[in-house]
Amino acid sequence: MALTFDDGPSRYTPQILAVLRRHHVHATFCMLGDEARRYPELARQVVAEGHQLCNHSRDHANLQKASPAKVRAEVTKAQKQIKKTTGVTPKIFRFPYGASDSQARKIVHGYGLRALGWDVDPEDWTRPSARKITTRITAHVKNGSVVLMHDGGGDRSHTAASLEATITRLQARGYTFVLA
């Protein structure tokens, strides 16, 4: 199963990285280009600790029904920002809101990027308690799951606080963690 974190990096990223480090777990960070540029040290730390990068657009624009020029701009600007900041060119793209259409998917694939979805969403962006986030994940996860969480885009303290219990419970159930 894969843990993924969207919308960062942010001031909550170090807390998430610390938990992942303690448990020897690697995750996929779907970064916004603007946030990678805003927090370059954190973006580089994600890479230095062996995590996978994913392009999540420049500024989280909804690309469903967007013009081809808008889709191209969001993808290429983020690729450049992330590459310039981290030295890594992402090979994966996650559509903001998970929203895409055939035109946007074709453009993304044309850049050689694989689209990344998810099948477990604890809706941490609604700011439920850490306990509720953990419960939502552990109740719905299965072999091969891709879990959507957020390290940016607002107050993510509950997400960070949930991670210790989430990983501990999943490991106790025999799950191993892979990159998306």
pLDDT tens for 13-30 read 999 999 999 999 999 999
Read off the pLDDT band of 122 (50, 70, 90). Answer: very high
Q: Tell me how far apart the alpha carbons of residues 61 and 99 are, in angstroms, rounded to a whole number.
A: 10
Identify the CA nearest to 46 among candidates 15, 77, 79.
Answer: 15
pTM for the model stands at 0.97
Is 6 annotated as catalytic? yes
**Residue range 157-171: average pLDDT?**
97
Q: Is 146 left (phi over 0), alpha (psi -120 to 50) or beta?
A: beta
> Is residue 4 classed as helix, strand or coil in its secondary structure?
strand
**Residue range 120-144: average pLDDT?**
97
**Catalytic, out of 51, 60, 150, 158:** 150
Q: Tell me how far apart the alpha carbons of residues 143 and 60 are, in angstroms, rounded to a whole number.
A: 29
Is 158 annotated as catalytic? no
Q: At what angle do helices 68-86 and 40-48 cross, to 10 degrees?
A: 70
- pLDDT value of position 170: 98
Q: Tell me how far apart the alpha carbons of residues 128 and 144 are, in angstroms, rounded to a whole number.
A: 25
pLDDT tens for 75-107 read 999 999 999 999 999 999 999 999 999 999 999
Read off the pLDDT band of 123 (50, 70, 90). Answer: very high
Read off the pLDDT band of 59 (50, 70, 90). Answer: very high
Dump strand ranges (E) for the chain.
2-6, 28-31, 52-55, 92-93, 114-115, 146-150
Q: Which two tokens stand for residue 148?
A: 């959507």
Q: In the chain, what are the domain boundaries?
A: 2-172
Q: Tell me how far apart the alpha carbons of residues 148 and 122 are, in angstroms, rounded to a whole number.
A: 7
- pLDDT value of position 103: 97
The CA distances from residue 12 to 5, 20, 60, 160, in Å, are 11, 13, 18, 7
Read off the pLDDT band of 41 (50, 70, 90). Answer: very high
- DSSP conformational letter for 120: B
- pLDDT value of position 82: 99
Q: Which two tokens stand for residue 26?
A: 């690697």
- pLDDT value of position 89: 98
Q: How many CB atoms lie within 10 A of CB 112?
A: 9
| Homologous superfamily in CATH for domain 2-172 | Glycoside hydrolase/deacetylase (3.20.20.370)
Read off the pLDDT band of 11 (50, 70, 90). Answer: very high
| Cβ(133)–Cβ(166) below 8 Å | yes
